[in-house]
Chain A
Amino acid sequence: MFSLDPATLIARIIVLLVAFTIHEFAHAWTATRFGMTRRA
């Protein structure tokens, strides 16, 4: 399944780090905008 060359693997790690960070930030940003001020 993961028969990847190193370049592809590194590219995907970089992409996933950026993507997950922005995704989770969007959740937090939305919650803040809806008035959540502390951890649920």
Chain B
Amino acid sequence: MNGRLTLIQSHTWIRWFFAVVSGRIWLGQACTRESLCITEAFLIRTDVGFTGRSVLQLFDGYSGGCTLSPGPGIRCEGFAASSSFLPSLSKILVEFVTINMVLMLFNLIPLAPLDGEKILDYLLPPSMQSTFESIRPYGPMILIVVAVVLPYFALTSSERSCALLNAHDEFPGRLSGEGGVSCWTVLEGDDNSPGSNRD
């Protein structure tokens, strides 16, 4: 690998999907130093009208790790470990968006106890209804397997950071600093495979 992971490259997107579905995006993310916080990066790019300030900055002054560098580009190092016991409002906002996105995707899985099952039930042609009906009782069991097994194949947090950085590489206003994209090797939580390369 040449130090670049793209979402389209090989089957990275499948592992990305596994990560989202199994909730690893927010369980494993932890927003530690030098790991890119996906939501945080997104929110700081979201300018509020004509003010030229990001949502997070308007919220409470924002003490996270993303900085707007001069010109296009944002550098993110994640939320620093808070010295306070209580979360800041901007931190709650970041968690709010991230967790709700993950919950939405998770709920759309078409397995029995989840809401995605009702949606698929509505959309399926009548000819397939009986097949779907017959696997319904096994939904919870399949779901447990999905939740336990998929994380094993999912991206590590540092791979997610690299993939996201490189995905944004195609757009004006990259998430990285000057020149190319740099990916750090981050070891955190139970992510024990380095996974990413330094440019």
Residues B82 and A1 in contact, CB atoms below 8 Å apart = no
A:1-40 near B, CB below 8 Å: 1-8, 10-12, 14-16, 18-19, 23
B:95-112 near A, CB below 8 Å: 95-96, 99-100, 103
Given the known inter-chain contacts A5-B81, A19-B99, please indicate yes or no for A11 contacting B30, CB distance below 8 A.
no
A36 nearest CB across to chain B (Å): 14
Q: Which single residue of chain A is at the shortest CB-CB distance from B84?
A: A7
Is chain B's binding surface mostly helix, strand, loop or mixed? loop
Is chain A's binding surface mostly helix, strand, loop or mixed? helix
How many Å lie between the Cα of A7 and that of B91 in the bound state?
9
Residues B100 and A10 in contact, CB atoms below 8 Å apart = no
How many Å lie between the Cα of A12 and that of B189 in the bound state?
17
Residues A3 and B189 in contact, CB atoms below 8 Å apart = yes
Interfacial chain A residues near B85, Cβ < 8 Å = 6-7, 10
Residues B189 and A15 in contact, CB atoms below 8 Å apart = no
Q: Which single residue of chain A is at the shortest CB-CB distance from B82?
A: A7
B residues sitting closer than 8 Å to A (CB atoms) are 26-28, 30-31, 79, 81-82, 84-88, 91-92, 95-96, 99-100, 103, 188-190
A residues sitting closer than 8 Å to B (CB atoms) are 1-8, 10-12, 14-16, 18-19, 23
